[in-house]
Chains A and B, each alone.
Chain A
């Protein structure tokens, strides 16, 4: 299975950069501010400010532009579609008309605005996962959600299960691959026959997979209990998250930038 390579890293690009070195909690919160900020601008000035800010973040993070652009891939149809729809179906002063097709001045503005907004939203969100490993993100989220523990939200347990899941993705994919090969070697025909036959051919793959899952879960639980795992209370970390003054500065800067961008854009406040 070719997708197995680098599966646990996901989109993460390990590079030595100041953005990568930031505290994951700071990055999550700063991304949130940026997303809200991008969502609230509508004039060219606001978009220009966000584009400059984004370019600055990308160059500081030393991530290849090609990879940054590839974060749009899952939703590019949506972006293209949205722009095209707004381009053709916005009422206003026509600048171009040919038969049924009319492109209005307002349509062009709306298309650019919606397209840019979606692209910036997606790329800002993508930057978070490009510069932060899934494990760091899970730790950061655990820490950010830990105040909700008193309302019964299992922040530590969620993060622990996330870590276990990350650890077991490659294992389980490997096992699935191995079982499939083993069954093919025994004469199972996974790739032939009608749809129903193919589905039934998967039963000999799924049964051992289940046995493995239950055994692994059991073994892991035993191993954890043998090492005296008792949940999040009083547990220390091997790599504790460290909030440095630089993180505070970055967080305050992104918050101020978002406020400034919205203010200068003139939607809510006029200067």
Chain B
């Protein structure tokens, strides 16, 4: 597995972007929106499956080695945090989004939107199952899947729809250009 240096730097910066996104909070009905998942969607759509997942893996890794980049801080003890599953979901979600958008030569807005939707489903599938396992087996509180669903998914749906459409709009414009650049077709860089 060899990495072009450009891919390495871009992946690292997307991991940092996700960390920055965790701190940008926008007050919203029910729960405040953070831009975290927005950058998860973007790493999937813009970087592709392997690199996008790697960027998210880096983000989770950064938090686990003690940087306060998660919404609730950081450190290896975060593995026990009930919401740790969502962070694992980011890795799988970014991969899914990348995988779907890579199937298309020129992905349109709709393709990106569908990819983000699939990625979101993956994030919640992983997140909710870990939340469920954590509550039932680590915390020892018997909680039904339905209850977990009610506070683990429903409050975020509206925000996610907005973030998904935002990502699709951005990616459908930037994505094709970026692929051109990565293929080596030189594009003049304005400074």
Contacts and interface: CB of A to CB of B under 8 A. Distances in A.
Interface of A: 1, 3, 7-8, 10-12, 71-75, 78, 81-82, 85-86, 89, 114, 118, 121-122, 125-126, 128-130, 132, 134, 137-138, 141, 152-154, 157-158, 160-162, 164-166, 168-169, 172-173, 176, 195-196, 198-199, 202, 206, 209-210, 213-218, 220-221, 224-225, 229, 231
A173 B19 CA distance: 9
A112 to B, nearest CB: 14
A132 to B, nearest CB: 8
Given A82-B140, A161-B58, 19 more contacts: A78-B139, A114-B140, A122-B80, A125-B79, A157-B3, A157-B8, A161-B15, A162-B61, A164-B9, A164-B12, A165-B15, A169-B20, A172-B16, A176-B20, A202-B26, A215-B191, A221-B6, A221-B9, A225-B5
29 contacts: A7-B67, A74-B72, A78-B80, A78-B82, A85-B140, A85-B141, A129-B76, A137-B65, A137-B66, A160-B8, A162-B58, A165-B19, A166-B67, A168-B13, A169-B67, A176-B24, A195-B26, A198-B27, A206-B35, A209-B20, A210-B174, A215-B189, A215-B191, A216-B9, A216-B13, A217-B9, A217-B10, A218-B189, A229-B5
Interface residues of B, number: 57
Given A118-B80, A221-B9, A172 B73 contact: no
Contacts of A166: 62, 67
B62 A3 contact: no
Contacts of A75: 77-78, 80-81
Contact of A168 (B12, B68, B73, B77): B12
Nearest to B28: A195
B29 interface: yes
Interface string B138-157: 11110000000000000000
A173 B24 CA distance: 10
Contacts of B176: none
A229 B3 CA distance: 12
Given A152-B1, A172-B16, A172-B17, A121 B80 contact: yes
Contacts of A71: 75, 77
A231 to B, nearest CB: 7
B13 A217 contact: yes
A127 to B, nearest CB: 10
Contacts of A173: 20, 23
Contacts of B72: 74
A117 to B, nearest CB: 11
Contact of A165 (B1, B35, B58, B139): B58
B33 interface: yes
A115 to B, nearest CB: 11
Interface in B107-149: 134, 138-141
Given A75-B80, A78-B82, A217-B10, A165 B62 contact: yes
Interface of B: 1-6, 8-17, 19-20, 23-24, 26-29, 33, 35, 54, 57-58, 61-62, 65-69, 72-82, 134, 138-141, 162, 166, 174, 189, 191
B78 A199 contact: no
B66 A198 contact: no
Contact of A81 (B2, B10, B141): B141
Residue of A8, A114, A129 with most partner-chain B CB within 10 A: A129
Contacts of A196: 162
Nearest to B57: A158
Given A85-B140, A125-B75, A221-B5, A10 B13 contact: no
Contacts of B79: 125
